[in-house]
A and B are shown apart, each in its own frame.
Chain A
């Protein structure tokens, strides 16, 4: 390793013209590079130690192991001299691949096998505690009290209470309620402010008592008096009794029993469940729901068909238009650069802006498009026209990409081939059909497949332009322009009873499988093109 400083600028110009990246690399090699490397690694290690402390604190041991192993691996790879050079380049990519691709996919798959949804967020113990708490009811003539927490002569926490209805004063302890003698007790505005033998807690000290206070129960006939906040207490009675032995809740009054139904809820024989439930594994339940539930399966085929048509049309039309423009602008003429720039503009504007603007332009009665054309085409309100609108706007957003790609790919086709074909007597169409297009496809086919996969899940285009609407006559959750991913969104967030993350994950897995299958088939097909070159 060289220890000299960067080369002096006075050195004679190098006969070989180095590329900019290469020059940048040499500029920061040597000692400055070492310092930079150590600084960056120190930053990574510091972050790892910080994260590790948090993980250890939260007792997330598997995650901690992964963190330690990967941090040590990073240090070893970058500090080992002259070894593991390829790894130096691969490691950052691998870390990001793991963090942003693999882990989310695993997490999604894991959720698909649970009942994670509204009402099933907690773990079972938390759910039991919450059911017990929310089943406490204020009895019809139950008392409410004004509360002043205090310490008695034994430094035990007690509640000094004033009954809101009668004005009677009490001392509440963990043993029960007993009257507080009026003598030596001062009550101001319904609140005990002084009492002989007790030290009333006020100010900041109150909040240090939080855990003690919120767990404090004064047993009374049939229930308990519980502090509410710092200045009130209420009498509450349970309406459900929990039996840890049999793991059941029994309703006090009618004796109805609620048992763990294996789906993350306590349910009675009638099917009534207690809230909240908890998150638990449900095996293949969600997958069978997707396949068997009429509500989900009903529109699935229709939505799937439109998704394929939407993605295929968007890609093929955009490619056709992009290629046409690229061929037109491949010839030298005036303002060529200007036109090239103009056609890239739709690509340069953030697509969500474009989509919202188009949604306004296409408004059936008040939009600019119908105004200018003097028509009254139901662009967004008719199921067929809405599909046309989606395709037009998607075309607008996608063709510049293929225009740029084709422009580049056209340059790379050797002109000799075209000339040879001309000499052999081929017309312009034949040249395009037999020479240009096949050679172009070799380069562009993988991009077409990628674009198809992207559009297959192009949530933004659908959601921002039509929201999947207009509604169809079959009154299903899916509108006329919903694609699978927007349909998933509606299923998960706008149907049934709240949000259903588990079902959404399950459908995402189905979509993943469909896209993977189509892409694999397409890549496999496009390999035959490579034989050309």
Chain B
């Protein structure tokens, strides 16, 4: 063999050795391939959640897993919505067995076939209010429960009790808010966020207060996407009130997310329609406040309800963790103790009625009461067509000078939504 040849062989051998060394040194690089190949007795149980709930879910899941001989991995996504979007496209090897999420994802995820229905025990169901379970129910053929409700979210009217009194009724609220606005200096009437894109969620108490609804129900009690109630007769009759509010500046679509919180914390607003996620910020600003439901306008001004919960991924079955996932979601996470742990630090109202009795935080209790009679956000996928148009109808009609009258703008929105649902 020539010298050159020898050296080339040497180079190749050296490289092969290095490759092998790297593969061995890289922590478990090949071992992981192994675990995919042969189904080991206890694969890792994977939970996807958001950053806010990461620590609590982790401690709960570990406490659950230890006596059961399982190992858990909790993966926190940057935004809650990433859980949903990543879940649609994920590959089985990286897929979660359980996800946390909001009830209004259920229509999309269930019609994708991405989540498995659960059947919790009767003893468990007794502690979880029916309306929260309904929020997680979906099915064109048979209504199935697709998640375990763990916590509730809704907006309420935050009243700065140093600047105003808790309103006795709608007329009182209107009078106080307008009097406060007339003091000038950039003060506003009722502080509620919209912005150019609109915000149908935060405006919903006003919408329901004027007797509007999004979807009607079929005889069987399921949401009916063919019955769009944005321009129902009663609402249309009440809609001119919106034009009056716009003229007086009671609500103003130019207030966006950031402005809304600035106005309330800098005492430029005495009334703020917002949710539990802002309780801490208001406390930090040293404001004394009370939270109530927006007073009845023509109908009860109920907010949209968001029900948070946990769902079993279809991949749990692929991974051989279906019974574990169902045990965790349908049984363990339903308990009062687990729900208290999950909700206390995050400042949310637990779904479990026993856990709700343990809520000590005054503001949180008030938010819970402000949600009484609330309407769970429709969980059918047709809702995707509604958010934008309903929000924009409010924007158009409450943008001050140059605003469109409410009747035509809500009628146009209803028409557009029907068209999209028919063609979508």
Q: Which residues of A contact B (CB under 8 A)?
A: 34, 38-39, 41-43, 45-46, 49-50, 53-54, 57-58, 75, 79, 118-122, 126-127, 130, 133-138, 144, 146, 164, 203-204, 206-211, 213-214, 227-232, 234, 239-240, 251, 272, 274-276, 293-295, 360, 363-366, 378, 380-382, 386, 466-467, 469-471, 473, 475-477, 490, 493-499
- Measured between beta carbons, the chain A residues less than 8 angstroms from B331 are 229, 231-232
Flag whether B202 is at the interface (Cβ < 8 A).
Answer: no
New contact pairs (9) apart from A134-B144, A164-B123, A207-B68, CB-CB < 8 Å: A39-B18, A42-B21, A50-B33, A134-B139, A146-B121, A206-B323, A213-B323, A295-B420, A381-B402
- Smallest Cβ distance from A38 to chain B, in angstroms? 5
Known: A136-B142, A207-B70, A210-B320. A119 touches B196 (CB 8 A): no
| A207 and B69 within 8 A (CB) | yes
**CA A121 to CA B253, docked complex, whole Å:** 38
5 contacts between A and B (CB under 8 A): A50-B29, A122-B113, A229-B331, A276-B110, A365-B254
| Contact between A118 and B112, CB atoms less than 8 A apart | yes
Within residues 381 to 403 of chain B, which ones have a CB less than 8 A from any CB in chain A?
381-382, 384-385, 387-389, 392, 395-396, 399-400, 402
Q: Which A residues lie within 8 Å of B263 (CB)? A: 366
* Cα distance, A498 to B424, chains bound together (Å): 9
* Stretch in B165-173, B215-223, B279-287, B409-417 touching the partner: B409-417
The CA-CA distance from A46 to B20 in the complex, in Å, is 7
Instruction: Give Cα distance in the complex from A490 to B392, angstroms.
Output: 14
Q: Is the CB of B259 within 8 A of A366?
A: yes
Q: With both chains docked as a complex, state the minimum distance between the C-beta of B257 and any C-beta of chain A, in angstroms.
A: 10
A497–B382 CB distance below 8 A:
yes
Is the interface on chain B under 10, 10 to 19, 20 to 34, or 35 or more residues?
35 or more
B358 within 8 A of A: no
Q: Is the CB of B323 within 8 A of A57?
A: no
Residue interface mask B146-173, A partner, CB < 8 A = 1: 0000000000000000000000000000
| Cβ-defined partner of A230 (8 Å) among B139, B323, B419, B421 | B323
Minimal beta-carbon separation of A237 from chain B (angstroms): 10
B:258-282 near A, CB below 8 Å: 258-259, 262-263
A278's nearest neighbour on chain B, judged by CB, is: B113
Q: Which residues of B contact A (CB under 8 A)?
A: 8, 11-12, 14-16, 18-23, 26, 29-30, 33, 36-37, 41-42, 67-70, 88, 93, 107-108, 110-114, 116-123, 139-142, 144, 186, 196-198, 252-256, 258-259, 262-263, 314, 317, 320-324, 326-327, 330-331, 381-382, 384-385, 387-389, 392, 395-396, 399-400, 402, 404, 412-413, 415-416, 419-421, 423-424
User: What's the nearest-Cβ distance from chain B to residue A255, in Å?
Assistant: 14
A135 contact set on B, CB distance < 8 A? 141-142
Which residues from B are CB-within-8-Å of A209?
A: 323
The 4 A-B residue pairs with the shortest CB-CB distance, nearest first, are: A496-B424, A204-B69, A42-B18, A276-B113
Instruction: For the complex, give the distance between the alpha carbons of A477 and B419 in Å.
Output: 11
Option from A34, A227, A240 in Cβ contact (under 8 Å) with B141: A240
A203 close to B392 (CB less than 8 A) = no
